[in-house]
Structure formats: C-alpha cells, structure tokens
Amino acid sequence: MTDKTIHYPLKLEGPDVPMVRFMNVSKRYGDLVVLDRLDLDVAAGEMVTIIGPSGSGKTTVLRMIMTLEKIDEGVIYIDGEPLTHMEKNGKLVRANQAHMRKMRSKIGMCFQHFNLFPHMTALENCMEGPVQVLGISKDEARERAMELLEMVGMAEKSDQHPSRLSGGQQQRVAIARALAMRPKVMLFDEVTSALDPEVINEVTTVIRNLVDQHSLTMLMVTHQIGFAREISDRICFFFGGRIEEQGPPTDLLDEPQEDRTQQFLSAVFDAN
Amino acid sequence: MFDWQWDFTWSILPRLIEATGKTLLAAGGGYLVALVLGLILALAQRTPWKPLTLVVRELVEFIRSTPLLLQVFFIYYVGPQIGLRLSPWTAGLTAIGLHYAAYLSEVYRGGIESIGKGQWEAARAINMSTAATYRRIIIPQALPPSIAGMGNYLVGIFKDTPMLSVIGVGELMHTANTIGAENYRYLEPYTLVGLIFLAISLPAAWLVRRFEAATRRRLGLSK
C-alpha cells in the first residue's frame, strides 16, 4: 500500500457490497509486472469469466483470492471484509494466518490438474475438509459428500481412488470436494485445459448446472470461449495485468471495442 | 584347516542368544529414537524461520560427516565433562539414535519434497492448517517412497550395534569378545555372531519390501 492517495476502507458497507473486490491490486515477480493496479468487482451470485493471453495475470487473480499468492500492493475484499489485510487499531495491516484461515472458509477452488488426494477415495476426498476443518461428524460428512457426488454424477465411483478415474471424472470429484466446504465464492482455474476433448462436456455440464441452480459467486479462467459465452454474466479480457475490456458476453465477444481484444479473439477463433 | 569344536559351539550358544536379545533391543531402541528425532529434524528444516533451518541443516551435515564410533566415544567419555553422565546403554542409544536420525531426516525430506505443490494448494483450498496438511495429506503420501530407505537404515542400525561394544554395552559383539578372551577361542563365537546377523538381516530386508508394497496398496497408491 504505497499509494497514499487511495483510501482503503476497513470494511465495505452499503446495499451493493460486492462479493469480491480488487482495489488497486498489483503483483510483481522481480521486474515482471503480473497485475498492474487492478480494480475488479464481482457481485454476489455473478459468474465472471476471465480470458486473455497467457501471462496476462488471469490465473494470478484466482490464486490471490485463494490466498495462494501474496499481493504487493492494494487490498482484496471478500464479502465486504478485507482478505489480504485485517483491521488493527483502526488501520489495515497485513492479514495474519488466523485471519486468512477465517476468510478462506468462504472460498473454494478447482485446479487445472485437479489435485485430488491420491491416497483417498473420491468420497474421502470430499469428506476430508468437512471432517478435519469444519469438524462435522463423519456420518453427516459422508451423507453430504454422497449428495454432492451424486450431483456431479460420480456417486457410483465414490469408493474409487483417483488413479482409477479419468481426468473428467477426477475434475468432477474435485468440484464436489470444493463444494463440500460450502464456499460463497467458487474459483475455476482452467478446469478443462488438462482434459481430453471428449470429456470436457462432463465438466462443463456440471458447472453449467451450478450456475443454473445455485447462487454461488463464480470466477472462471478458461480458454473455451464458447462455454464462457454460454454461462457468463460478464467476461473480462485481461492484457498485461490489467482489464483491457469487459462486458456481457455478447458485447465483448461479438463487438469488441479494443484492438487487443479483437486480435486475441480472432486468434482464438482461427485456432478453433 | 579350521579346528571347529562343536562342544564349545553348543556351550556358548545360550550366551550368544541372550546377547542377541540385547542387540535387538539396542537396534530397536536406537531406531525408535531415530524415527522420531529424524522426523523432527526433517520438519525443522522446512520451517519458514531461516536461522533454525540453517542450524539444523548444519547439524545434520555434521553428524553425517563424522564416524558413528567417534560419536559413541564422545557422548560416553566427553559427556561427563559437560555434566552429561550417561550409562553405557543410554549413551549408546543416544549416539546411534542421533546418528541415524540425521540419515532418516534426509529420507523423510526426500519423501516430503517428492509431493507436488498441487497437493499443498489443494489442502490450502479446503482450508487445512499446515499441521493437518502434513498429518493427513503430505506424510501419508511421503511414507511409501521412504519405506525402502527407512528399511535400509533399520538393517544398517542393526549392523552398527557392535559399535556399542566399545563402551561396554553387552550386545552380541561384546559377548563374543568376552567369550573369546575367556577361552582363547575366537573362531566359533565370531562365526556364530556372523550367522546370527545374517539370519536376522536377510528376513528383515524381505519384510521391509513386503511392508512397502502393503502400505502402497493400503493407501491406494499402487496402480
């Protein structure tokens, strides 16, 4: 927080508090600027997709929300409360572990390479967090995990270890595992990028159902423009660590205003 | 060529078998110390607090680079000068436990480092604490690839117990020396000691391999 001219509130208040707010957030690796004074709001229940060339900072945005990356400047708020910082004597200071653990309970994430726990069955993967972190009884956690596995179409494979599951199946279990923690914000980081083309649909169907049936706030990074168009409320095009252009899918994809957006989209459409 | 005396062999066998028990006790006790202390040394090198990491790293290197025999002597004979008065057994178990803890900490470290970053991030994403992540996610996966190395050091610690004879721990080697000196016959006692070591080491190595395979199966890690 080097820029003294920006006022970072201790808390966001009012009728329209966004579920996620990035305020002037920057991230650098040495000389490389990954995020450059980013401002981004995501409303509660909104589905926002981030697209852009590799190295544009898209994944970093999600990783920061999951507290997997530290930020260099700015503040991120979740559900009105600061995530990267906390209040101390009326001032914002860097969040400590306890604060981050409290805030992290509102956030769930699915990864490109699934990252299921290989020594646990699909069911155990979905019970681990509820039992170990939330302190829910095993019976209750099992019941809830089975419901979620049912929802993602994996109930029949609940006793299988990840090594016995296909990529699409593993990713569906990973979505159930994240949902078992009852997050308010779900992050999908290129969840179909490591999948064979014929199983991508299993995973996108699950995400589509989530969007239709739940009021979760979701942020998704993807290269699948068609899928993004279909389910997003808004698409943000990232370039050089900033939002170059954003808007509803039809506006951004069909009538992009910026040159860079046009170039990126035509390159993606050509590739497809 | 050899003057092997069966009568003498049978007469010393009970004493050697009794000493075998003490050898196993020394090896088992030392290994237990090494298993626990080794894990502490391994985890201490992974704390975010750099000075601790550095000190433990150097300690491990120091122990690994000096002979066990010297460490045994040092703890037993030099210890009293700094107020550390230990019985031969305690000194012996401390020395051998500490020595092998240094080696085991490297085995653990390798096992822990073999677990990808994705597992840590997945655990973070379901909001697990660092301690729970080690206990539930990392160590169970780090264990199977470490078992082979851990087993080698189990056999190693067993074979190194004769070093404790020099400070008077009454294990196999010490007993064989005593028998030899009493009777001016070394062929039978030393041969028997060798055979006893062989009879224990070989099945132990086999059991370790079985245990490794069983652990992998139990954790669902074998394809």
- Give tens-digit pLDDT for B2-22: 788 898 999 999 999 999 999
Question: Does the beta-carbon distance from B128 to A129 stay under 8 Å?
Answer: yes
Distance from CA of A15 to the nearest CA of B (A): 29
Question: Does the beta-carbon distance from B125 to A120 stay under 8 Å?
Answer: no
Average pLDDT score over chain B: 91
Domain ranges of chain B: 6-218
Question: Does the beta-carbon distance from A115 to B219 stay under 8 Å?
Answer: no
Question: Does the beta-carbon distance from A119 to B125 stay under 8 Å?
Answer: no
For chain A (272 residues), the mean pLDDT of every run of 10, in chain order, is 75 92 94 92 96 90 96 95 94 94 96 96 97 95 96 96 95 97 96 92 93 92 93 95 95 94 90 70
Closest C-alpha among B117, B91, B116 to residue B26: B91
Spell out which residues of chain B touch residue A194, defining contact as CB-CB under 8 Å. none
Beta-ladder partners of A238 = A243
Whether A116 contacts chain B with CB within 8 A = yes
- The full DSSP string for A167-211 is HHHHHHHHHHHHHTT--SEEEEESTTTTS-GGGHHHHHHHHHHHH
- The full DSSP string for chain B is -----HHHHHHHHHHHHHHHHHHHHHHHHHHHHHHHHHHHHHHHTTSS-HHHHHHHHHHHHHHHHS-HHHHHHIIIIIGGGGT----HHHHHHHHHHHHHHHHHHHHHHHHHHTS-HHHHHHHHHTT--HHHIIIIIIHHHHHHHHHHHHHHHHHHHHHHGGGGGGGT--SHHHHHHHHHHHHT--HHHHHHHHHHHHHHHHHHHHHHHHHHHHHHHHTT---
Spell out which residues of chain A touch residue B133, defining contact as CB-CB under 8 Å. none
- Residue A271, pLDDT score: 75
Whether A43 contacts chain B with CB within 8 A = no
Task: For chain B, give the percent of residues with pLDDT over 90.
Answer: 71
- Residue B213, pLDDT score: 87
- Give tens-digit pLDDT for B181-215: 999 989 999 999 999 999 999 999 899 889 888 88
Question: Does the beta-carbon distance from A133 to B132 stay under 8 Å?
Answer: yes
Question: Does the beta-carbon distance from A118 to B221 stay under 8 Å?
Answer: yes
Beta-ladder partners of A33 = A28
Nearest to B119 among A117, A133, A181 (CB): A117
Question: Does the beta-carbon distance from A120 to B220 stay under 8 Å?
Answer: yes
Spell out which residues of chain A touch residue B129, defining contact as CB-CB under 8 Å. 101, 133
The structure tokens listed for A19 are 């579920």
φ, ψ dihedrals at A43, nearest 5°: -75, 160
Q: Cα–Cα distance between A86 and B217 in angstroms, integer?
A: 45
Whether A111 contacts chain B with CB within 8 A = yes
Residue B40 has pLDDT above 80, yes or no: yes
Question: Does the beta-carbon distance from B141 to A108 stay under 8 Å?
Answer: no
Q: Cα–Cα distance between A59 and B60 in angstroms, integer?
A: 39
Distance from CA of A41 to the nearest CA of B (A): 21
Number of Cβ pairs closer than 8 Å across A and B? 66
Average pLDDT score over chain A: 93
Whether A101 contacts chain B with CB within 8 A = yes
What does the angle CA A50 – CA A56 – CA A57 come to, to the nearest 5 degrees? 70
Spell out which residues of chain B touch residue A141, defining contact as CB-CB under 8 Å. none
The Cα-based distances of A43 to A75, A84, A232, A234 in angstroms read 17, 19, 13, 11
Nearest to A111 among B118, B132, B221 (CB): B118
Closest C-alpha among B178, B116, B151, B159 to residue B26: B159
In this prediction the ipTM stands at 0.93
- Residue B84, pLDDT score: 87
Q: Cα–Cα distance between B129 and A65 in angstroms, integer?
A: 17
Nearest to A133 among B118, B127, B220 (CB): B127
- Residue B102, pLDDT score: 96
Q: Which chain B residue has the Cα nearest residue A66?
A: B125
Chain B interface mutation, best of A132, A160, A170, A171, highest count of B Cβ atoms under 10 Å:
A132
- Give tens-digit pLDDT for A193-241: 999 989 999 999 999 999 988 889 999 999 999 999 999 999 999 999 9
Whether A12 contacts chain B with CB within 8 A = no
Whether A67 contacts chain B with CB within 8 A = yes
CATH hierarchy code of domain B6-218: 1.10.3720.10
What does the angle CA B166 – CA B102 – CA B65 come to, to the nearest 5 degrees? 70
The structure tokens listed for A221 are 């990074």
Which amino acid, residue A70?
Answer: K
Query: How many CA atoms lie within 13 Å of A77's alpha carbon, on the beta-carbon side?
Result: 23
């086999």: which residue's tokens? B206
Residues of chain B in Cβ contact (below 8 Å) with chain A: 118-119, 121-122, 124-129, 132, 136-137, 140-141, 219-221, 223
- For chain A, list the domains and their CATH numbers: 1-95+195-272 (3.40.50.300), 107-182 (no CATH)
Closest C-alpha among B6, B1, B12 to residue B182: B12
Beta-carbon contacts of B169 under 8 Å, excluding residues fewer than 6 positions away, are B22, B26, B88, B89, B92, B161
Is the Cβ–Cβ distance between A237 and A32 less than 8 Å?
Answer: no
- Give tens-digit pLDDT for B107-157: 999 999 999 999 999 999 999 999 999 999 999 999 888 888 899 999 999
Which of A 124-143 lie inside 8 A of B, CB atoms?
A: 128-129, 132-133
Q: Which chain A residue has the Cα nearest residue B220?
A: A119
